[in-house]
Structure 1
Amino acid sequence: MVKLQVEVNNACIQPFVFCFYVSGHGWGHATRANQIISDILRLPAQHKVYVISNASSFIFQGVTNVGAIYRQADIDAGVVQPLAYTVDRQQTITNLKQFLHQRQSILMDEIAWLRQVKADCVICDAPFLPCAAAAGAGIPAAIASNFTFDEVYNGLCEGDALDDDIKEGVKVVIQDYRNADLLIRLPGAIRIPSFDDAVELVPSTPTLYEPTPTPINPSKGIVNGKTQLPSISVATVLSSRLSSKIERRIVDVPLVFRKYHKNRKQVLEELGIPSSIYDTHRILLLSFGGQVLGKAEWKQENPLPPNWICIVCGAPDNIDLPVGFYRASRDAYVPDLTNAVDVVLGKLGYGTCSECIGHHTPFVYVPRPQFIEEFGLRKLMQDQGSAVELHREDFEAGRWGSALEEAAQLSGACDEPERLVGHNGGPIAAKILEQFVVEWNSKKSASSPQQHTLVAAAAATAAVTTTIATESNKTSTPTTNDLSLEVPPLNTR
């Protein structure tokens, strides 16, 4: 059992209404938002949380089961991905233009709804329009993410006529994001233009037709160039609000990720894998959702090396899986699978990266150069986990063997104990968000210089010495980044 202890000020705070807007682009937004929402709901004040998204309510069942309230709404344009590792550039920008054309109507609807539910705070991961809606409703807004969509759209510039549409749209997106006064920046970040604090280790994102820039300062921190977490810096970009009540800040937090619930043996046996197989084979988790399963090449030659089996997430029922492949149920809890396998194969998304790092599972990734978030996540995996690249052509042709065997020899963990990232970003983010609203409300009623320290104090309470005890071979080294919580021991492979 890993026990993380810290002394936290549990002063009595009134319950707030948090409205958490979550992008429907990919599951990574939802999984990490779910973790922060769960931690907000665990705070003693018994806050109310609405989760607003164009993603299916199915993704949020875990938090709605414990009290969050789901509302479906089209609140972002997102990115169009025909496959998990490709972007439809033209359709993505067309969708953005259509969304911006409807922006005023959607904005008015959101302002009215926020007033109706008596919202105290908007949190975004990472739609931009809700930040402007918060300003219209007269309440604070925060962003909790490792990227924002302005930089993603910027990354689609290719030096052609479509670039003009991209740049015009990005201007509006940045202005909306600038209505937020707090950025909770997650590990694996890229530049966030609406807050840009000019840290060289989070460089300006390269575009597709320009070379990747070399960081000016190549020294290593824990994540995002920070040597201690949580870490507070002041935004260098001013607020879009005419009279912002507080100083805009960036708080870099430890890893936010979902932890496993079931042990390895239980997970594998529930999938129908007998011990005679899982004790004698290495196990791969394929986390693409099955978009290319059933290719002719795979039927002619199994892509798995000898003595390997594979668990597939999201494989449609109408697809016949090759020999040695097992289908995970639609509602499978992916962290359980990640903890149970030897290697994960997928794309560089925050959810997969964070859960691989958190469970010390090596990762084989298929690059997706059109999606700029990858630059921050690749660095995160290189610094904190174990990652092996598999070219798209080799993935689609079923040439997986050498990459899987290479990954299986890796530890899945950072080899520099003093730089290990903490695993409790969710509780820290929840506490900081709570104090953010306290600070905002106090500034509404009276302007007091002392109140500027509230968010800083909330972060500082988390940065204390951790005591840690473990009885697993897959363990974390003591850090100074953890709030009080219990973490079950990770399974020994």
Structure 2
Amino acid sequence: MRRPHLFVDISAHGFGHLAQVAPVLEELSRQLPALRLTIRSGLPTARLQARVAGEFTHLQASSDFGYVMHDAVRVDLAATAAAYRRQHAHWQALVDADANLFRSLQPDLVLSDVAYLPLAGAARAGVPAVAMCSLNWAELFAHFFASEDWAAAIHRQMLDAYNGAECFLRATPGMAMADLPRLRPVGPIAALGRDCRQALRAQLGCRRDERLVLIAFGGVNKQLPIERWPAISGVRWLIPEAWQVEGPGLTAFEPLALSITDLLRSVDAALGKPGYGTFAEAACNGTPLLYLRRENWPEQDFLIDWLHRHGRCREIGDADLLAGRLQPALEGLWRQVAPPTPRPSGAADAAAALLPWLTRVGAI
């Protein structure tokens, strides 16, 4: 009998979309061991393999670009506007191409986090599709471009694609999404890491009083002048290898050969930006978080409000971050009382919503 086939489209706008999808795919594969996965994403195959257990076919392509970024916290609005206008100038041809792809692959279901093009292509091909995310590009597009005279037609095509899906699984915490009537909320989605604290500290030769702080901005680069920061006694920074910075109290984290979730679970604090993967995984793994607000990013208020209720966190300013004036913020963070750790129930919620399309007669 034919194996159930799920086509998954994962945005490469940072790593948060993959962080949302991977636990759902793990839960689906646990319940459906014969599940066949095809993943389309602009992320490298190795990055997908680090998060998605089991076999899958990777189509190396991006069906969305999200937003063009100056860096991890600043959007390039002019470049983003130009990119949307280029894409939608050929909208119908792009939808036809995706429809033809789905007719060829014949998946039982398309899952998108959170590109709208595959939703439109699936609808044209007569294939059921579901969207899932804490945000959607239509709501962000309206936030940034609603006043532009060219934007209305593009926004309508985006909304039509999202609303043509069977439902939109909104991860907690998430944006309001008032324009999407087929909304179906699910719980927090987060991978739980292994507590490797003792082994990690032994590997690094940490002193008894030394604390580890992971710097991770979610897949969009933000190089910090960490080589000019004043030393903070008792703090070691775990930094991206791509920064190519060496010095006392600095260690690149990739050569440590631990997954990002294991690292997050095992450090004393993390530093990053408001993004779903970072915030949900910090809270669910009980890791204190310093965060730098993003510039004019409407999703972040939902994330920040939720993390202040469910985790230990503290905001830092850009000037303090650039100057490395972080000792007071870290000390204040470590003085906070830890609230009850939230349960990442969203993967099971989402899997339950998707299973009916993957367990119909003839697909198992």
TM-score strictly above 0.5: yes
Q: Is the 8 A contact 2:19 2:51 kept in 1?
A: no
Secondary structure at the residue paired with 1:285?
strand
Q: CA deviation at 1:412?
A: 4.3
- Give the AA of the match of 2:68: V
1:130–1:158: structure 2 CA closer, same or farther, 3 Å change rule? closer
1:411–1:299: structure 2 CA closer, same or farther, 3 Å change rule? same
1:111–1:268: structure 2 CA closer, same or farther, 3 Å change rule? farther
Cα distance between partner residues in 1 of 2:324 and 2:146? 31
1:370–1:76: structure 2 CA closer, same or farther, 3 Å change rule? same
Q: Structure 2 matches for 1:261-276, cutoff 5 A? A: 261=194, 263-270=196-203, 273-275=204-206
Matched length: 358
| Alignment partner of 1:328 is 2:253 | yes
- The equivalent position to 1:104 in structure 2, one of 76, 82, 92, is 92
Q: CA deviation at 1:392?
A: 1.4
Cα distance between partner residues in 2 of 1:347 and 1:64? 23
**1:398 matched to which residue of 2?**
324
Cα distance between partner residues in 1 of 2:343 and 2:133? 17
| 1:5-24 Cα distance to aligned partner (Å, 9 max, x none) | xxxxxxxx984211111111
Q: CA deviation at 1:437?
A: 5.2
| Alignment partner of 1:306 is 2:233 | yes
Q: Structure 2 matches for 1:73-88, cutoff 5 A? A: 73-88=61-76
Q: Structure 2 matches for 1:159-170, cutoff 5 A? A: 163-170=148-155
- The equivalent position to 2:19 in structure 1, one of 31, 34, 52, is 31
**1:427 matched to which residue of 2?**
348
Secondary structure at the residue paired with 1:164?
coil
Q: Structure 2 matches for 1:91-170, cutoff 5 A? A: 91-157=79-145, 163-170=148-155
- Give the AA of the match of 1:251: R
Task: Please identify runs of 4+ aligned residues in structure 1 that moved more than 6 A.
Answer: none
- The equivalent position to 1:281 in structure 2, one of 210, 214, 237, is 210
| 1:360-411 Cα distance to aligned partner (Å, 9 max, x none) | 1111100013222112111211221122110112111222121111111124
Q: CA deviation at 1:143?
A: 1.1
Which has a greater percent of helix?
Answer: 2
Q: In structure 2, list runs of 5 or more residues that go unmatched.
A: none
TM-score with structure 1 setting the length: 0.68
Q: CA deviation at 1:165?
A: 3.4
Cα distance between partner residues in 2 of 1:347 and 1:166? 28
- Give the AA of the match of 2:192: K
Q: Structure 2 matches for 1:235-274, cutoff 5 A? A: 235=181, 248=182, 250-261=183-194, 263-270=196-203, 273-274=204-205
- The equivalent position to 1:370 in structure 2, one of 296, 302, 322, is 296
Which has a greater percent of strand?
Answer: 2
**2:166 matched to which residue of 1?**
181
Cα distance between partner residues in 1 of 2:20 and 2:92? 29
Cα distance between partner residues in 1 of 2:343 and 2:62? 34
Q: CA deviation at 1:332?
A: 4.4
TM-score with structure 2 setting the length: 0.90
Q: Structure 2 matches for 1:409-448, cutoff 5 A? A: 409-414=335-340, 421-436=342-357
| 1:167-200 Cα distance to aligned partner (Å, 9 max, x none) | 44222211111111212111111122442xxxxx
Higher alpha-carbon Rg: 1
What value does the CA root-mean-square deviation take over the aligned residues?
A: 2.4
